[in-house]
Amino acid sequence: MWSGPRNISTAMMRSFSSRPDCFVSDEPFYGAFLKETGADHPMAEEVIASMETDWRKVAEALAGDPPDGSPVWYQKHMAHHMVGPIAPDDLEGLTHAFLIRDPHLMAASYARKRETVTSADLGLRLQREFFDRECQRLGHAPPVIDSAYVLAEPSGVLSQLCWALGISWDPAMLSWPAGRHPQDGIWASHWYGHVEASTGFESPDFTDPLPLAPALQAVADACMDDYLHLSRFALRNA
């Protein structure tokens, strides 16, 4: 699942982890991204020390069998992490899907966790580029879900997603226990406070965000074309 930050991506990981047939992984390329780029992210040193940082070793592991032998392996990825020698296309044998959100909402939420926000941080350009390549490879659009539709109709949209992925729908995906998950990355203490308090999907965010500062507005506006390009394909409640 290719996403950007502040995009219910961790809630989606919680949802899939509630399936008894599914193992989940939390941003497995994050350490490699930080080591390669030197990006000034919160807890960067701790993240690098906590996980494999060789891009190729991570990709090789992700293309193998789920660590616990589960039939389904849900891999949560940030599109903007793929700026090193490995691209999403190199993850062969996997089914790719895309999670998007209005970039104005993303920018407003991300700014509460980092002092500076750029369009690259939101990852929508890379999501679009990979989505277009997947369309060409498959001959049709891969699954796209918009966080607003997931929050508005979680059972309807997630059942559509499961159908598109070729797996059964499980109502267990609608709820999860509060607190930390065993597969959460070490960065959870900085980023996951809200989802750790949750037990399911919350109210939809179709409403307009609060007015953004000019710099944040410019970031969000720069991402809108890419968001709208992907949103045309977003699954909705049947």
Contact in structure between 100 and 157 (CB atoms under 8 Å):
no
Q: Please, what's the b/e burial string for 102-120 (b: 16 or more CB within 10 A of its CB; e: otherwise)?
A: bbbbbbbbbbeeeeebebb
Q: Can you tell me the distance from the alpha carbon of 17 to that of 140, in angstroms, rounded to the nearest whole number?
A: 28
Query: What are the tokens at 121?
Result: 């941080």
Residue-by-residue pLDDT tens, the chain, 238 positions: 999 988 999 999 999 999 999 999 999 999 999 999 999 998 999 999 999 999 999 999 999 999 999 999 999 999 999 987 888 888 988 999 999 999 999 998 888 877 788 999 899 999 999 999 999 999 999 999 999 999 999 999 999 999 999 999 999 999 999 999 999 999 988 878 888 999 999 876 545 556 889 999 999 999 999 999 999 999 998 6
Q: Report which DSSP code applies to 207.
A: S
Contact in structure between 181 and 14 (CB atoms under 8 Å):
yes
Q: Cα-atom radius of gyration of the chain, to the nearest Å?
A: 17
Angle ∠(98,161,191) on CA atoms, nearest 5: 50
Model-level pTM greater than 0.75?
A: yes
Q: Can you tell me the distance from the alpha carbon of 118 to that of 219, in angstroms, rounded to the nearest whole number?
A: 6
